[in-house]
Amino acid sequence: MAMEKQNQEPRIGFYVCHCGTNIAGMVDCAEVAHHVGTLPNVVMSKDYKYMCSDPGQELIQKDIAAHGLNRVVVASCSPLLHEHTFRGAVEKGGLNPFFFHMVNIREHDSWVHTDRQEATEKAKALAQAAIGRVAHHKALETKRVDINPTTLVVGAGIAGIHTAMTIANAGKQVVLVEREPTIGGHMAKFDKTFPTLDCAACILTPKMSAAGAHENIRLLSYSEVTKVDGFVGNYKVTIKRKPRYIDEEACIGCQDCIPACVFKTPKFADEFNEGLGKRRPVYIPFPQATPQIVAIDPNVCLNFKKGENGDRVVSDKCKKTCVEACGDKDAIDFTQTERFEEIEVGAIVVATGFQTYDATRSPSYGYGRYDNVYTALEIERLVNASGPTGGHVVMRDGKSEPKSVGIIHCVGSRDKKTNAWCSRVCCMYSMKLAHLLKEHTNAEIYNFYIDVRTPGKGYEEFYGKLLEEGVHFIRGRVGEVTDWAMTPEEEGKLVIRVEDTLAGMVRRIPVDMVVLATGLEPQKDAQDVRRLFNMSCGSEGFFLERHPKLAPVNTFSDGIYIAGACQGPKDIPDTVAQAGAAAAEVLALIDKGYVEQEPNTAFILEDECSGCKSCIPLCPYTAILFDEKTDKAWINEALCKGCGTCVGSCPSGSIVQNLFEDQEIFSEIEGVLAYD
Amino acid sequence: MEIKRTIKYQADRVRGFGREVMSVPGCEKLKDCIQCGTCSGVCPLSIYMDFTPRQVMALTREDFKNEVLASHTIWLCASCYACTVECPREIRITDIMYELKQRAIHEGVYPKRFPIPVLAQEFTTMVRQHGRVSEGLLVTKLYLKTNPIAALGMAKLGMGLMKTGRFSLKQENIKQRADLARIVATVDNESVKA
Amino acid sequence: MTREWKPRLVAFFCNWCTYTAADLAGVSRLKYAPNVRVIRLMCSGRIDPQFILEALAKGADGVLIGGCHPNDCHYVEGNYKMLRRFQLLKRMLQDMGIEEQRVRLEWISAAEGDKVRKVVNEMTEALQALGPLGLPGRFEEWDREVEHLAATVQEKEAAGCACGAPAEPRDTEVAHV
Amino acid sequence: MRYGYFPGCSLKGTGRAYEESLLPVMQHLGVEMVELDDWSCCGATAYMAVDEGKACALAARNLALAEQGGFAQVMAPCSACYLVLNKTQHFMQDYPAMRRLVDKALGSVGLKVSNDTPVRHPLDILLNDVGLDAVKQKVTRPLKGLKVAPYYGCQIVRPYSTFDDQADPVSMDQLLQALGAEVIDWPLKTKCCGGSLTGTLPEAGLRLSYILLKEAKKRGADLIATVCPLCQFNLDGYHDKIEAKWEPVRVPTVYFSQLMGLAFGMPANRLGLQRGFIPMPSLPRAEAVAA
């Protein structure tokens, strides 16, 4: 029996990896191998250039056979990277994969230390700990868990839509949740896309309506995820359906109610147009909105007017003309309230996007102080034919066209005082807006940049095109935008003061309009969303991928993936590529049909349990139960997630965690301290 | 037409100068400069400088000690801190200017008869000796040392100040001048040790 | 020992936040003191106070515990449960006369590679200033004392002394808990 | 409310009107200002340019004197003093080597500095300790109809903004409004006046003063209110030169404390208002409104 073989005296094989020079450059690998070779139970000890390579893995397999090894330790990189690889190699060599332990001497040693002797000593100590530990390892079986084939996609911008469509096209069910009344996200607000200048709506809206109509997609707009329970393959998700005061089934999207509203002229700031346009209390964000269902804004609708004591007072000014216009469709329902719905899914893709930097945080550029300082997103709406001015670029006075425009790059990007990162898209969208503004107004356009970054297909060529069009490019981060004049030509203008760093002199440039190329930053509730889905955020606040290169759409929680700008600033092509990648990961998971769970669960030694029950309230998964007949506690393995909290606090020491048994950890402690 | 050759050879540098400056408290972040020009853009005096503040950062980092210490730029800095506050890399440019001024004075390379370094030195001498600055006396000394003719032009201002009771040639003194001298001597002593 | 004494720091890091942060420190090539030896656990909630005592008893000069920030625990609230135990342990260590700075608990998220560097360096410096804890040596000393006392008691008993209880071995009692 | 008062050299010289107005105004509000015994010059911007270590040690001597005198807080009305004392504290906190140097230097004369005595500006104290309501209560002659351009200058908000916004400070705006004045909004309120360059290098420094005066005038200001003796001097003292070079921009520049005194009903000559070159033309108007 395998079990017997493995319970024999430990025969440990040890391997230390050079990782090229990544480890060997700072750790004397031969010396580590030599030292470990002298330890008890070690039958062979080797150093090798790349243990994770095929020959490296084969080496382990051959040695298991040749030397009768029953335990293997590899000292190389982080177990989070290659533990899986080496367990596989050990298994192929005929051993239970859990007779393996990995020592991290790269991320935790060679990369973070500068003294070769110290780093080598540390590697020896860590290896010695693993040798002590692995002797206590036991054969374990992994548990298979079935995967629910339905997927939840959170956020329906271009990333979420593309992910949902890809999964749905493969014949799998998707629930697509969007918190706004319409899907489409930021992309729906853009006029054109760079560098091809094709119209954003023309390429996005067909995708939006296809997603809305897809037989495998259940679209929940104006909804938010409020709770996530469970684990990979079996998540239980609670979704809040916010009241839009419209029966979604009954509304046919005729929009007859909108002009019927008692507000004869639209008077409330229109979010979709960045507040440049106005809407009524009953509205549809934009003509191609998906779903084609109106919404009623209770903050401004007279029907929801609150009295001084907070009670609803139905104003007699509201004639319910919208209800009248709706007629026997009877879709308007002022009594709607928040509803909660629970769904079950196997995988989740988070595609919650970004928000743009708040330009008032950079007061020297005068946004909010001077009328004609705009954000880039406002200009997107201003040049858009379906925007608030029908595509006429006029300034806030409503009539004059700008004759000169200054576009300031890197507002809220590359600035340690606000956001330190490069937002990746601003150079390109600034050039796009420069082109569009020139096309619409023939104004003199000045771009103020720190560096022009055009790393994309056709991007550098687009820069060339702009130069040919006569757009000015001035290398210098603008010092300030003010409205005081030094010369007659500056009277009544906004004056940009900047060092033209290439000319090596300070310039004052008067313009009619200033556009701030605001950067991309995490959504303001990113931290809440992160907690909801048990993800991590990088220091800048974007969601953290499992590995920056090899697992860019995975998170540290299995079954939860990220796509698009919630992971970091990116343009549309990259967002779509990442959305496709996330969909592929989900499909791979669903298609396999099951996941293997790490067998690091806990169990109770019945004989030793004193029945004190102190472990029971500690378990966040209610996996510990109490058997009244035997007066002992027991653990439901299916519910246990393997944190070990109960183990650490059992007064009688009668709970054991697989892979983290007390004896294993004590040996590790002894090991790290034994070496001198 | 007079032409001037401006090429710089590696030998024109004073190797290690940049590193030295960057090791001084407050000057470390010069390493992070991305040459965006915000400092020059917000500097109210950059328009009078021979090198813009941004160029001073570049020259310092690249070891062009002679060029930097001889430049007018460091003496034109009025310590308004606009650059320090606006710099996207959080470089304390004003403090770097102070450091460069100190070095220029130490090496005696500042422009002669240029009133600003003279003022700085007269000021410190007065503080060291008396503990307080007597503005009238200080300004008078300054003009006599740098530009006696301009002093005549300032006479009207001086008269006005005297009339409004704001001008005096009396030297203010603190009581514990000996303490002051000992503090200064201790700092000197420590600097020599370092 | 011929070599110069250097502080020995044992760290228990949770898999999801602090261990990952230490990986990030590596990937970012941050440099910190080599005195730390990390032991990985799935959750800081797994940390049994015995682990900390064992580490000190086996020759560590200090112990560092790293877990997820409050509300960020991968297992909902293992870090809180650790915190509760940790408070009790601190009191006990105080009674044993072990300096407070020798055992430290830090919340370090997966993104805070630099915090790993900072905390390890700070702790190494603090331990350097405190000097060796030297519990293993002290144990030997205490063992000798107890043996000596036992021998005395035996002698006295043999001599027919009726006083019964031996002289109070004050320190030893606590130290062997 | 008791503060160790660090006047600085200017408030005893060219800026004496600042002290002459601040002392009675603060006293009227129940704020006790006790001049530090035997204080020495803060070093201003000049000393930093010559020797950082000495500059810090000399500035720290004053902090030590404050501690010795048992003051929990120091009030430094001059912008340069306020900055230098704050900067010294920051340097000592951020750089252990500087801290050691200062400790050693002060130790040589038996002084010690714990570096935890806040150095505060009168505006900060007026807004956050006294409170605008208390100020309003004392106003007997509101400055109705007086258009004031608040001018903060550089060093009280930069580089350390401890009590107000760095780019758009509002504390003096609020104070002036509490006095009943009309506040002019202008983008130059934290721009440099030229500092010591106005004296040493007039071709550069003077232009900055000119721009400030010109813009204040253009926006209809009756006067400029300032917090800094050097700014006041620059904006007040060089009108003949500015006129010779550019154009007349005769806007008077006074200390905020002088305006407070006026609003509190104190006579102008007790507030040092006779010391300015450009007289305050609008004062009768303010009185007329009050009457």
Q: Are residues D85 and D171 in the same domain?
A: no
Q: What is the mean pLDDT of residues D37-62?
A: 89
Which residue of B32, B42, B90 is the best one to mutate when testing the A interface, meaning the one whose CB has the most A CBs within 10 A? Answer: B42
Does the distance separating the beta carbons of D204 and B48 come in below 8 Å? yes
pLDDT at residue C166, as a whole number: 47
Q: Give the number of domains in chain C.
A: 2
Q: Are residues A280 and A408 in the same domain?
A: no
Q: What is the pLDDT of residues D208-217, one digit of tens each?
A: 999 999 999 9
Model confidence at B194, in pLDDT bands (50, 70, 90)? low
The CA distance from D76 to D122, in Å, is 7
pLDDT at residue D125, as a whole number: 96
Q: Are residues D160 and D271 in the same domain?
A: yes
Indicate whether A101 belongs to any domain.
yes
Q: Are residues D145 and D275 in the same domain?
A: yes
The CATH number given to whatever domain includes residue A481 is 3.50.50.60
Name the token pair of B118.
């003279």
For residue B135, pLDDT beyond 90: no
The CA distance from B167 to B181, in Å, is 27
Q: Are residues D229 and D163 in the same domain?
A: yes
Torsion angle defined by CA atoms of residues C81, C82, C86 and C87, in that order, rounded to the nearest 10 degrees: -30
Q: Are residues D75 and D197 in the same domain?
A: no
The CA distance from C56 to A416, in Å, is 42
Distance from B43 to chain D by nearest Cα, in Å? 9
Task: Tell me the C-alpha to C-alpha distance, in Å, between residue A659 and each of A198, A644, A664, D12.
Answer: 56, 10, 8, 77
SS3 string, A112-171, reads: CCCCHHHHHHHHHHHHHHHHHHHCCCCCCCCEEEECCCCEEEECCCHHHHHHHHHHHHCC
Indicate whether C29 belongs to any domain.
yes
Which residue of B47, B81, B139, B154 is the best one to mutate when testing the D interface, meaning the one whose CB has the most D CBs within 10 A? Answer: B81
Q: Which of A142, A161, A178 is the last residue of a domain?
A: A142
Q: What is the pLDDT of residues B19-46, one digit of tens each?
A: 999 998 889 999 999 999 999 999 999 9
Model confidence at C143, in pLDDT bands (50, 70, 90)? confident
Query: Residue A230 pairs with which residues in a beta bridge?
Result: A235
Q: What is the mean pLDDT of chain A?
A: 94
C-chain residues within 8 Å CB-CB of A544?
A: 110-111
The CA distance from A167 to A584, in Å, is 8
pLDDT at residue D281, as a whole number: 64
Taking residue C50's Cβ as centre, other Cβ atoms within 10 Å add up to 16
Q: Does D68 touch chain B (CB under 8 A)?
A: no
Indicate whether D81 belongs to any domain.
yes
At which residue do the structure tokens 């609230």 appear? C77
For residue C170, pLDDT beyond 90: no
Q: Which of A91, A109, A142 is the last residue of a domain?
A: A142
Q: Which of A451, A497, A506 sits opposite B52 (nearest CB)?
A: A506
Q: Does C31 touch chain A (CB under 8 A)?
A: yes
Helix (H, G, I), strand (E, B) or coil at C12: strand
A-chain residues within 8 Å CB-CB of D167?
A: 363-364
Q: Which residue of D has its CA nearest to B184?
A: D54
The CATH number given to whatever domain includes residue C108 is 3.40.50.960
Q: What is the mean pLDDT of residues A335-355?
A: 97
D-chain residues within 8 Å CB-CB of B136?
A: 13
- Burial grade of A194 (CB within 10 A; 0-12, 13-18, 19 or more): buried
Q: What is the mean pLDDT of chain C?
A: 86
Q: Which of A479, A501, A504 sits opposite B42 (nearest CB)?
A: A479
The CA distance from B7 to A23, in Å, is 44
Taking residue A324's Cβ as centre, other Cβ atoms within 10 Å add up to 12
Q: Are residues C79 and C61 in the same domain?
A: yes
Taking residue A125's Cβ as centre, other Cβ atoms within 10 Å add up to 22
At which residue do the structure tokens 């909804």 appear? A223
For residue A313, pLDDT beyond 80: no
Q: Are residues A415 and A510 in the same domain?
A: yes
Q: Does D192 touch chain B (CB under 8 A)?
A: yes
The CA distance from D11 to D77, in Å, is 9
Beta strands in D11-57 (DSSP E): 32-35
The CA distance from A19 to A74, in Å, is 12
Does the distance separating the beta carbons of B89 and A475 come in below 8 Å? no
The CATH number given to whatever domain includes residue D205 is 3.40.50.11810
D-chain residues within 8 Å CB-CB of B123?
A: 44, 46-47
Q: Does C93 touch chain A (CB under 8 A)?
A: no
Taking residue A202's Cβ as centre, other Cβ atoms within 10 Å add up to 10
pLDDT at residue B57, as a whole number: 97
Q: Which of A415, A451, A499 sits opposite B40 (nearest CB)?
A: A499
Query: Quick check: do D and B touch, 3+ CB pairs under 8 A?
Result: yes
Indicate whether D29 belongs to any domain.
yes
Q: Are residues C26 and C91 in the same domain?
A: yes
Q: Are residues D113 and D230 in the same domain?
A: no
Query: Residue A154 pairs with which residues in a beta bridge?
Result: A177, A350
Q: Are residues C124 and C105 in the same domain?
A: yes
Query: Quick check: do C and D touch, 3+ CB pairs under 8 A?
Result: no
Does the distance separating the beta carbons of D50 and B120 come in below 8 Å? yes
Q: Does C4 touch chain A (CB under 8 A)?
A: no
Indicate whether D125 belongs to any domain.
no
The CA distance from D211 to D192, in Å, is 10
Strand A632-635, strand C9-14: pairing: unpaired
Is there a contact between C10 and C37 (Cβ–Cβ < 8 Å)? Answer: yes
Taking residue D216's Cβ as centre, other Cβ atoms within 10 Å add up to 25
Q: Are residues D96 and D228 in the same domain?
A: no
Q: What is the pLDDT of residues A112-162, one digit of tens each?
A: 999 999 999 999 999 999 999 999 999 999 988 899 999 999 999 999 999
Task: Tell me the C-alpha to C-alpha distance, in Å, between residue C157 and each of A590, C144, C146, C149.
Answer: 77, 20, 16, 12
Taking residue A61's Cβ as centre, other Cβ atoms within 10 Å add up to 18
Q: Does D7 touch chain B (CB under 8 A)?
A: no
Model confidence at A307, in pLDDT bands (50, 70, 90)? confident
Report chain B's C-alpha Rg in angstroms: 20
Q: What is the pLDDT of residues A191-225, one digit of tens each?
A: 999 999 999 999 999 999 999 999 999 999 999 99
For residue C2, pLDDT beyond 60: no
The CA distance from A237 to A251, in Å, is 27
Q: Are residues C116 and C163 in the same domain?
A: no
Task: Tell me the C-alpha to C-alpha distance, in Å, between residue D62 and each of A616, D8, D85, D123.
Answer: 63, 10, 8, 21
Q: Which of A142, A160, A185 is the last residue of a domain?
A: A142
Sign of CA dihedral D208, D214, D219, D220: positive
Does the distance separating the beta carbons of A78 and C75 come in below 8 Å? no
Q: Which of residues 15-34 of B touch A (CB under 8 A)?
A: 34
Q: Does B88 touch chain A (CB under 8 A)?
A: yes
Taking residue D128's Cβ as centre, other Cβ atoms within 10 Å add up to 12
Q: Are residues A282 and A373 in the same domain?
A: no
Q: Give the number of domains in chain A.
A: 4
Taking residue D75's Cβ as centre, other Cβ atoms within 10 Å add up to 29
D-chain residues within 8 Å CB-CB of A482?
A: 187-188
Does the distance separating the beta carbons of A479 and B86 come in below 8 Å? yes
Q: Which of D167, D186, D215 sits opposite A363 (nearest CB)?
A: D167
Indicate whether A588 belongs to any domain.
no
Which residue of A370, A411, A484 is the best one to mutate when testing the D interface, meaning the one whose CB has the most D CBs within 10 A? Answer: A484
Q: Are residues C146 and C117 in the same domain?
A: no
Model confidence at A675, in pLDDT bands (50, 70, 90)? low
Model confidence at A435, in pLDDT bands (50, 70, 90)? very high
Indicate whether A138 belongs to any domain.
yes
- Full domain range(s) for residue C53: 9-133
Hey, what amino acid is at D29?
A: L
D100 HSE (CA, 13 A, CB side): 6
Residue count of chain D? 291
Q: Are residues D253 and D109 in the same domain?
A: no
D-chain residues within 8 Å CB-CB of B193?
A: none
Residues with Cβ within 8 Å of residue A455, at least 6 apart in sequence? none
The CA distance from D3 to B81, in Å, is 27
Beta strands in chain D (DSSP E): 2-5, 32-35, 74-75, 119-120, 147-151, 182-183, 223-226, 253-255
Model confidence at A316, in pLDDT bands (50, 70, 90)? low
Q: Are residues C41 and C118 in the same domain?
A: yes
D-chain residues within 8 Å CB-CB of A484?
A: 186-188, 211, 215, 218
Q: Does B76 touch chain A (CB under 8 A)?
A: no
Q: State what percent of residues in chain D have pLDDT above 70.
A: 96
Sign of CA dihedral A24, A26, A31, A36: negative
Q: Are residues A486 and A629 in the same domain?
A: no
Q: Is the complex ipTM more than 0.90?
A: no
Query: Residue D207 pairs with which residues in a beta bridge?
Result: none
- Full domain range(s) for residue A613: 602-657
Does the distance separating the beta carbons of A417 and B40 come in below 8 Å? no
Helix (H, G, I), strand (E, B) or coil at A3: helix
Phi, psi of C24 (to 5 degrees): -65, -40
Q: State what percent of residues in chain A have pLDDT above 70.
A: 98
Model confidence at B110, in pLDDT bands (50, 70, 90)? confident
Strand C62-67, strand C9-14: pairing: parallel
Closest C-alpha among C167, C146, C145 to residue C156: C167
User: How many A/D residue pairs have CB atoms within 8 Å?
Assistant: 17
Chain D: list its partners (3+ Cβ pairs within 8 Å).
A, B
Is there a contact between A87 and A97 (Cβ–Cβ < 8 Å)? Answer: yes
Q: Are residues C18 and C60 in the same domain?
A: yes
Indicate whether C2 belongs to any domain.
no
Which residue of B29, B30, B33, B38 is the best one to mutate when testing the A interface, meaning the one whose CB has the most A CBs within 10 A? Answer: B38
Q: Which residue of D has its CA nearest to A486?
A: D211
A→B interface, C-beta within 8 Å:
364, 410, 414-417, 450-451, 475-480, 497-501, 504-506
Q: Is A115 left (phi over 0), alpha (psi -120 to 50) or beta?
A: beta
D-chain residues within 8 Å CB-CB of A363?
A: 165, 167-168
- Full domain range(s) for residue D219: 132-290
The CA distance from D238 to C20, in Å, is 64
Q: Are residues C154 and C101 in the same domain?
A: no
For the entire predicted model, the pTM comes to 0.86
Name the token pair of A351.
């595609």
Q: What is the mean pLDDT of residues A249-257?
A: 92
The CATH number given to whatever domain includes residue D61 is 1.20.1050.140
Q: What is the pLDDT of residues C69-115, one digit of tens each?
A: 988 888 888 999 999 999 999 998 988 889 999 999 999 998 899 99
Q: Are residues C141 and C89 in the same domain?
A: no
Q: What is the pLDDT of residues D57-112, one digit of tens each?
A: 999 999 999 999 999 999 999 999 999 999 999 999 988 889 999 999 999 999 99
A-chain residues within 8 Å CB-CB of B39?
A: 499
Task: Tell me the C-alpha to C-alpha distance, in Å, between residue C37 and each of A76, A129, B20, D186.
Answer: 15, 10, 36, 60
Q: Are residues C147 and C126 in the same domain?
A: no
Indicate whether A147 belongs to any domain.
no
Taking residue D110's Cβ as centre, other Cβ atoms within 10 Å add up to 10
Q: Are residues A72 and A10 in the same domain?
A: yes
Q: Does A534 touch chain C (CB under 8 A)?
A: yes
Q: What is the pLDDT of residues A49-60, one digit of tens each?
A: 999 999 999 999
Q: Are residues C91 and C124 in the same domain?
A: yes
Q: Alpha carbon A97 to chain centroid distance? A: 32
Q: Give the number of domains in chain D.
A: 2
pLDDT at residue C3, as a whole number: 65
Name the token pair of A422.
């490069």
The CATH number given to whatever domain includes residue A649 is 3.30.70.20
C-chain residues within 8 Å CB-CB of A106?
A: 26
For residue B133, pLDDT beyond 90: no
Q: Are residues C39 and C101 in the same domain?
A: yes
Does the distance separating the beta carbons of A416 and B41 come in below 8 Å? no
A-chain residues within 8 Å CB-CB of C31?
A: 112-114
A-chain residues within 8 Å CB-CB of C70?
A: none
Q: Are residues D139 and D279 in the same domain?
A: yes
Q: What is the pLDDT of residues A77-111, one digit of tens each?
A: 999 989 999 999 999 999 999 999 999 999 999 99
B-chain residues within 8 Å CB-CB of D270?
A: none
For residue A661, pLDDT beyond 80: yes
Taking residue D108's Cβ as centre, other Cβ atoms within 10 Å add up to 17
Indicate whether C21 belongs to any domain.
yes
Q: Which of B44, B167, B186 sits opposite D191 (nearest CB)?
A: B44
Name the token pair of D280.
């305050």
pLDDT at residue D288, as a whole number: 43
Q: What is the mean pLDDT of residues D225-252?
A: 93
The CA distance from A383 to A403, in Å, is 15
Q: Which of residues 113-142 of D touch B (CB under 8 A)?
A: none
Q: Which of D165, D168, D215 sits opposite A484 (nearest CB)?
A: D215
Q: Where are the alpha helices (DSSP H) in A181-256?
A: 200-213
Task: Tell me the C-alpha to C-alpha distance, in Å, between residue D89 and each of A23, D83, D102.
Answer: 44, 10, 11
pLDDT at residue C161, as a whole number: 54
Indicate whether C1 belongs to any domain.
no
For residue C175, pLDDT beyond 80: no
pLDDT at residue A1, as a whole number: 40
Task: Tell me the C-alpha to C-alpha distance, in Å, between residue A197 and each of A191, A202, A458, D130.
Answer: 9, 11, 11, 60
| First-to-last C-alpha distance (Å) of chain A | 40
Q: What is the mean pLDDT of chain D?
A: 91
Is there a contact between A260 and A208 (Cβ–Cβ < 8 Å)? Answer: no
